[in-house]
Amino acid sequence: MDLKLKIWRQANANSKGELKDYNISDVSEDSSFLEMMDQLNEELIEKGDEPVAFDHDCREGICGMCSMHINGEPHGPENETTTCQLHMRKFKDGDTIYVEPWRARAFPVMKDLVVNRDAMDRVIQAGGFVSVNTSGNTLDANAIPVPKANADEAFNAATCIGCGACVAACPNASAMLFVSAKVSQLALLPQGQVEAKDRVLNMVNQMDLEGFGNCSNVGACAEECPKGISLENIARMNREYLSASISSEK
């Protein structure tokens, strides 16, 4: 198939960017979107032009490194699909496709389609863990039974790949879905309960410091999430946050 591409090009964090036009032909329908980008880059290199920089790694939909706003949607038109798992058969011959980086204050563009997502790591560093050291003497793994429903729900929240699509989809660039997924996972398990209050307060505080916006219940985050993380997590985090704010001794 033949396609017209309009791709955001930006030399570095300090320069201005713009959409540039590219034509690409003989794209296989079996290519993934990133393989189509590979093909474009190959052509650019052969011509002596600079290839388009984009983040990617596992290409199996699990590492969360690939990003790209495709035709106005994070990870493109398919539901519950990362850009690397989006295939060109979902497009039509002759289509024009807009490709842009994630847009959010907390995710500055570094080059072309590459953005800086360190802010998400810092939110996890603020409390997204159980404070347990490595030890050969922890409790036996079966010492505390966990109801299957809670374990499954915690797992569902924990499948978040930290890609940032929720932030990119949100008109406020809020990270509530991302943060709430981690808060939910740990709120649903008995491990780490003693620090649950500090966890939610610290993570939300860090989220605000990073410049992520507020949640206004739009729901675009869950709609665009490639892993189907649900809005219930946000509700659970709000409950956790409220009760921690009232009862925390800090």
Partner 1 sequence: MKLDSKIPEGPLEKKWQNHKANIRLVNPANKRNIDVIVVGTGLAGASAAASLAEMGYNVKAFCFQDSPRRAHSIAAQGGINAAKNYQNDGDSVYRLFYDTIKGGDYRSREANVYRLAEVSANIIDQAVAQGVPFAREYGGNLDNRSFGGVQVSRTFYAKGQTGQQLLLGAYSALSRQIAKGKVKLYNRHEMMEVVVVDGKARGIIARNLVTGEIQRHGAHAVVLASGGYGNVFFLSTNAMGSNGSAAWKAHRKGALFANPCFTQIHPTCIPVSGEHQSKLTLMSESLRNDGRIWVPKDRKDAEAIRAGKLKPTDLPEEKRDYYLERRYPSFGNLVPRDVASRAAKERCDEGFGVNKTGEAVYLDFAAAIERYGKTEANIQGIDNPSPEKIRELGTKVVEAKYGNLFAMYEKIVDDNPYETPMMIYPAVHYTMGGLWVDYNLMTSVPGLFALGEANFSDHGANRLGASALMQGLADGYFVIPYTIGDYLADEIRTGEIDTNHEAFAAAENEVKGNIDKLMNNAGKKHSVDYYHKKLGRIMWDKCGMARNAQGLTEAIKEIQELRAEYWDNVKIPGKADEMNPELDKAMRVADFMELGELMCKDALEREESCGGHFREEYQTEEGEALRRDEDFAFVSAWKYSGDPSTTELVKEDLVFENVELKTRSYK
Site residues for partner 1, 143-182, by CB under 8 A, read 145-148, 151-152, 154-155, 158-159, 161-162
d(CA 130, CA 113): 34
How many residues touch partner 1 under the rule CB under 8 A: the total is 78
CB of 139 to partner 1, least distance (A): 7
d(CA 148, CA 113): 41
- 9 touches partner 1 by CB under 8 A: no
- 208 touches partner 1 by CB under 8 A: no
- 79 touches partner 1 by CB under 8 A: no
CB 149 within 8 A of CB 88: no
CB of 244 to partner 1, least distance (A): 18
- 186 touches partner 1 by CB under 8 A: yes
What SS3 state is found at 73? strand
Choose which of 16, 21, 30, 246 interacts with partner 1 (CB under 8 A).
Answer: 30
Region from 1-9, 17-25, 48-56, 166-174 binding partner 1, contact rule CB under 8 A: 48-56
State the amino acid at position 120 in one-letter form: M
What is the spatial order of strands in the sheet that 69-70 belongs to? 18-24, 3-9, 96-100, 69-70, 73-74
Choose which of 14, 16, 92, 133 interacts with partner 1 (CB under 8 A).
Answer: 133
Angle value at C-alpha 183, between 182 and 186, nearest 5 degrees: 85
Provide the CB-side half-sphere exposure for 47 (13 A, CA).
10
CB 8 within 8 A of CB 112: yes
Q: Which of residues 113-132 bind partner 1 (CB under 8 A)?
A: 114, 116-118, 120-121, 124-126, 128-132
